[in-house]
């Protein structure tokens, strides 16, 4: 193997994996894992992905006691407590609950009811 080929192999980032809850699925229980999660369906329970991203699509509905994610991108509905490094609540989102995050963005048109605590030290 040439030096250039070795360099290319060491510089290539590992493939990022993610899972999906489809629009026609309803999940009840605790979700934990070590990859990103995209929700278009419904999740009732808790979500524990402290080192990974969580995307709740427009059709997604989450009712959780606690959601932990590195980054949360909310386009659908979420009810519960959220702990994250960064949260983005889009103009189509409906959020009802409490937030603990380092960074928060709430876009114009979003529906938000709850409390916010900004914490500089996100602990996964």
94 in any annotated domain: yes
Q: Rounded to two decimals, what is the model's pTM?
A: 0.86
Q: What confidence tens digit (pLDDT) does each residue in 16-67 have?
A: 678 999 999 999 999 999 999 999 999 999 999 999 999 999 999 999 999 9
Structural domain that includes position 94: 18-118
The total number of structural domains in the chain stands at: 1
What is the per-residue DSSP string for the chain? --HHHHHHHHHSPPPPPEEEE-TT-EEEEEEE-SSEEEESSEEEEEEEEEEEEEEE-TT-EEEEEEEEEEEEEESSEEEEEEEEEEEEE-TT-EEEEEEEEEEEEE-TT-EEEEEEEE-S----
41 in any annotated domain: yes
């Amino acid at each position: 193997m040439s030096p250039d080929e070795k360099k290319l192999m060491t510089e290539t980032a590992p493939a990022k994996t993610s899972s999906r809850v489809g629009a026609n699925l309803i999940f009840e229980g605790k979700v934990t894992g070590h990859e990103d999660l995209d929700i278009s369906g419904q999740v009732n329970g808790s979500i524990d992905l402290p080192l990974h991203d969580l995307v709740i699509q427009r059709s997604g509905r989450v009712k959780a006691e606690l959601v932990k994610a590195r980054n949360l991108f909310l386009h659908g509905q979420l009810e519960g407590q959220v702990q994250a490094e960064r949260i983005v609540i889009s103009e189509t989102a409906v959020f009802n609950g409490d937030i603990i995050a380092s960074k928060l963005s709430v876009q114009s048109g979003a529906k938000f009811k709850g409390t916010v605590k900004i914490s500089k030290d996100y602990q996964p």
